[in-house]
Structure 1
Amino acid sequence: MTIDELRQEIDRLDGELLRIFNRRAGLALEIGKIKKERGLPVYDPTREKAIFERMKGENPGPLEDGAIVRLFERVIDESRRLERIMTHRDESQEKE
Protein backbone atom coordinates (compact mmCIF):
# COMPACT_ATOMS: atom_id res chain seq x y z
CA MET A 1 0.00 0.00 0.00
CA THR A 2 1.06 3.58 -0.58
CA ILE A 3 1.32 6.23 2.14
CA ASP A 4 -1.87 7.85 0.84
CA GLU A 5 -3.74 4.55 0.95
CA LEU A 6 -2.51 3.88 4.47
CA ARG A 7 -3.57 7.37 5.54
CA GLN A 8 -7.00 6.85 4.01
CA GLU A 9 -7.37 3.68 6.06
CA ILE A 10 -6.30 5.58 9.19
CA ASP A 11 -8.87 8.28 8.39
CA ARG A 12 -11.56 5.60 8.01
CA LEU A 13 -10.58 4.03 11.33
CA ASP A 14 -10.55 7.46 13.01
CA GLY A 15 -14.15 7.91 11.88
CA GLU A 16 -15.05 4.55 13.38
CA LEU A 17 -13.32 5.45 16.63
CA LEU A 18 -15.23 8.73 16.77
CA ARG A 19 -18.55 6.92 16.42
CA ILE A 20 -17.51 4.30 18.99
CA PHE A 21 -16.30 6.92 21.50
CA ASN A 22 -19.57 8.81 21.24
CA ARG A 23 -21.66 5.64 21.52
CA ARG A 24 -19.65 4.63 24.59
CA ALA A 25 -20.15 8.08 26.11
CA GLY A 26 -23.90 7.83 25.53
CA LEU A 27 -24.01 4.50 27.34
CA ALA A 28 -21.94 5.97 30.19
CA LEU A 29 -24.51 8.77 30.49
CA GLU A 30 -27.29 6.20 30.76
CA ILE A 31 -25.34 4.43 33.50
CA GLY A 32 -24.82 7.81 35.17
CA LYS A 33 -28.59 8.37 35.30
CA ILE A 34 -29.10 4.99 36.94
CA LYS A 35 -26.29 5.66 39.42
CA LYS A 36 -27.87 9.00 40.31
CA GLU A 37 -31.28 7.38 40.87
CA ARG A 38 -29.67 4.78 43.13
CA GLY A 39 -27.39 7.23 44.93
CA LEU A 40 -24.24 5.56 43.66
CA PRO A 41 -20.98 7.43 43.06
CA VAL A 42 -19.85 8.28 39.53
CA TYR A 43 -16.38 6.85 40.19
CA ASP A 44 -16.20 3.05 40.48
CA PRO A 45 -12.53 2.03 40.87
CA THR A 46 -13.34 -1.68 40.92
CA ARG A 47 -15.12 -1.46 37.57
CA GLU A 48 -12.33 0.61 36.05
CA LYS A 49 -9.67 -1.84 37.23
CA ALA A 50 -11.67 -4.69 35.70
CA ILE A 51 -11.85 -2.83 32.38
CA PHE A 52 -8.08 -2.25 32.36
CA GLU A 53 -7.35 -5.88 33.21
CA ARG A 54 -9.74 -7.14 30.53
CA MET A 55 -8.24 -4.86 27.89
CA LYS A 56 -4.71 -5.93 28.77
CA GLY A 57 -5.79 -9.56 28.56
CA GLU A 58 -7.34 -9.02 25.12
CA ASN A 59 -4.52 -6.85 23.78
CA PRO A 60 -2.89 -8.46 20.72
CA GLY A 61 -0.37 -5.61 20.25
CA PRO A 62 1.56 -3.88 18.82
CA LEU A 63 0.56 -1.38 21.54
CA GLU A 64 1.99 -2.32 24.92
CA ASP A 65 -0.38 -2.98 27.81
CA GLY A 66 0.65 0.29 29.49
CA ALA A 67 -0.37 2.22 26.39
CA ILE A 68 -3.72 0.44 26.28
CA VAL A 69 -4.36 1.28 29.93
CA ARG A 70 -3.45 4.95 29.35
CA LEU A 71 -5.81 5.15 26.36
CA PHE A 72 -8.67 3.60 28.31
CA GLU A 73 -7.94 5.78 31.34
CA ARG A 74 -8.43 8.81 29.12
CA VAL A 75 -11.64 7.49 27.57
CA ILE A 76 -13.04 6.63 31.01
CA ASP A 77 -11.95 10.00 32.46
CA GLU A 78 -13.84 11.80 29.71
CA SER A 79 -16.92 9.65 30.22
CA ARG A 80 -16.81 10.32 33.96
CA ARG A 81 -16.37 14.05 33.33
CA LEU A 82 -19.38 14.03 31.02
CA GLU A 83 -21.44 12.14 33.62
CA ARG A 84 -20.59 14.77 36.23
CA ILE A 85 -21.44 17.65 33.89
CA MET A 86 -24.77 16.11 32.95
CA THR A 87 -25.62 15.24 36.55
CA HIS A 88 -24.81 18.78 37.67
CA ARG A 89 -26.88 20.21 34.81
CA ASP A 90 -29.82 17.95 35.67
CA GLU A 91 -29.62 18.98 39.33
CA SER A 92 -29.60 22.67 38.33
CA GLN A 93 -32.68 22.18 36.16
CA GLU A 94 -34.51 20.36 38.96
CA LYS A 95 -34.00 23.37 41.27
CA GLU A 96 -35.61 25.79 38.81
Structure 2
Amino acid sequence: MDINEIRKQIDALDDELLRIFNQRAQLALDIGHCKKKVGLAVYDPQREKKIFERMKGANPGPLDDGAIVRLFERVIDESRRLERIKTKGE
Protein backbone atom coordinates (compact mmCIF):
# COMPACT_ATOMS: atom_id res chain seq x y z
CA MET A 1 0.00 0.00 0.00
CA ASP A 2 1.25 3.48 -0.78
CA ILE A 3 1.04 6.56 1.42
CA ASN A 4 -1.97 8.01 -0.45
CA GLU A 5 -3.99 4.84 0.07
CA ILE A 6 -3.13 4.81 3.76
CA ARG A 7 -4.13 8.48 4.04
CA LYS A 8 -7.47 7.73 2.36
CA GLN A 9 -8.10 5.07 4.99
CA ILE A 10 -7.17 7.52 7.76
CA ASP A 11 -9.52 10.14 6.26
CA ALA A 12 -12.36 7.60 6.20
CA LEU A 13 -11.70 6.69 9.83
CA ASP A 14 -11.56 10.38 10.78
CA ASP A 15 -14.97 10.89 9.16
CA GLU A 16 -16.33 7.96 11.16
CA LEU A 17 -14.78 9.27 14.39
CA LEU A 18 -16.39 12.67 13.78
CA ARG A 19 -19.79 11.01 13.37
CA ILE A 20 -19.27 8.88 16.47
CA PHE A 21 -18.02 11.81 18.60
CA ASN A 22 -21.11 13.83 17.72
CA GLN A 23 -23.42 10.88 18.32
CA ARG A 24 -21.80 10.33 21.72
CA ALA A 25 -22.10 14.04 22.52
CA GLN A 26 -25.82 13.95 21.75
CA LEU A 27 -26.27 10.98 24.08
CA ALA A 28 -24.32 12.83 26.78
CA LEU A 29 -26.70 15.76 26.34
CA ASP A 30 -29.65 13.40 26.71
CA ILE A 31 -28.13 12.10 29.94
CA GLY A 32 -27.48 15.68 31.07
CA HIS A 33 -31.15 16.50 30.66
CA CYS A 34 -32.12 13.40 32.66
CA LYS A 35 -29.62 14.26 35.40
CA LYS A 36 -30.94 17.81 35.60
CA LYS A 37 -34.54 16.58 36.02
CA VAL A 38 -33.63 14.37 38.98
CA GLY A 39 -31.02 16.69 40.48
CA LEU A 40 -27.90 14.66 39.79
CA ALA A 41 -24.49 16.26 39.28
CA VAL A 42 -22.95 16.41 35.82
CA TYR A 43 -19.68 14.94 37.12
CA ASP A 44 -19.89 11.28 38.11
CA PRO A 45 -16.38 10.04 38.99
CA GLN A 46 -17.52 6.46 39.56
CA ARG A 47 -19.07 6.29 36.09
CA GLU A 48 -15.92 7.70 34.54
CA LYS A 49 -13.76 5.19 36.39
CA LYS A 50 -15.95 2.37 35.05
CA ILE A 51 -15.59 3.70 31.50
CA PHE A 52 -11.80 3.87 31.79
CA GLU A 53 -11.57 0.37 33.26
CA ARG A 54 -13.86 -1.06 30.58
CA MET A 55 -11.89 0.58 27.79
CA LYS A 56 -8.55 -0.61 29.18
CA GLY A 57 -9.94 -4.13 29.44
CA ALA A 58 -11.13 -4.04 25.83
CA ASN A 59 -7.99 -2.39 24.44
CA PRO A 60 -6.24 -4.60 21.87
CA GLY A 61 -3.45 -2.07 21.18
CA PRO A 62 -1.26 -0.76 19.68
CA LEU A 63 -2.21 2.21 21.88
CA ASP A 64 -1.28 1.51 25.49
CA ASP A 65 -3.83 1.80 28.29
CA GLY A 66 -2.52 5.21 29.36
CA ALA A 67 -3.15 6.59 25.88
CA ILE A 68 -6.65 5.11 25.85
CA VAL A 69 -7.47 6.68 29.21
CA ARG A 70 -6.14 10.07 28.07
CA LEU A 71 -8.23 9.95 24.90
CA PHE A 72 -11.37 9.03 26.79
CA GLU A 73 -10.66 11.66 29.45
CA ARG A 74 -10.70 14.28 26.72
CA VAL A 75 -13.90 12.95 25.14
CA ILE A 76 -15.60 12.82 28.54
CA ASP A 77 -14.34 16.30 29.49
CA GLU A 78 -15.87 17.72 26.32
CA SER A 79 -19.11 15.84 26.92
CA ARG A 80 -19.27 17.20 30.46
CA ARG A 81 -18.57 20.73 29.21
CA LEU A 82 -21.35 20.39 26.64
CA GLU A 83 -23.77 19.10 29.29
CA ARG A 84 -23.04 22.11 31.49
CA ILE A 85 -23.50 24.60 28.64
CA LYS A 86 -26.63 23.08 27.14
CA THR A 87 -28.49 22.24 30.37
CA LYS A 88 -27.69 25.55 32.07
CA GLY A 89 -30.80 27.47 32.94
CA GLU A 90 -33.26 24.68 32.28
- TM-score bin, normalised by smaller chain: over 0.9
Kindly state the Cα deviation for residue 47 of structure 1 after the two structures are TM-superposed.
Answer: 0.3
Q: Provide the rounded CA distance (Å) in 1 between the counterparts of 2:26 and 2:87.
A: 13
Q: Provide the rounded CA distance (Å) in 2 between the counterparts of 1:75 and 1:23.
A: 12
Give identity over the alignment, percent. Answer: 76
* Residue type of the alignment partner of 1:18: L
C-alpha RMSD of the superposition: 0.7
Match of 2:52 in 1: 52
Kindly state the Cα deviation for residue 9 of structure 1 after the two structures are TM-superposed.
Answer: 0.1
* Residue type of the alignment partner of 2:27: L
| Residues paired across the two proteins, number | 90
Match of 1:72 in 2: 72
Q: Provide the rounded CA distance (Å) in 1 between the counterparts of 2:27 and 2:87.
A: 14
Larger Cα-atom Rg: 1
Match of 2:31 in 1: 31
Q: Secondary structure at the match of 2:61?
A: coil
Runs of 4+ aligned residues of structure 1 deviating over 6 Å after TM superposition are none
- More relative contact order in 1 or in 2 (CA 8 Å, sep 6+)? 2
TM-score (norm 2): 0.98
Match of 1:20 in 2: 20
Q: Secondary structure at the match of 2:63?
A: coil
| Structure 2 unmatched runs, 5+ | none
Q: Secondary structure at the match of 1:78?
A: helix
Match of 1:85 in 2: 85
TM-score (norm 1): 0.92
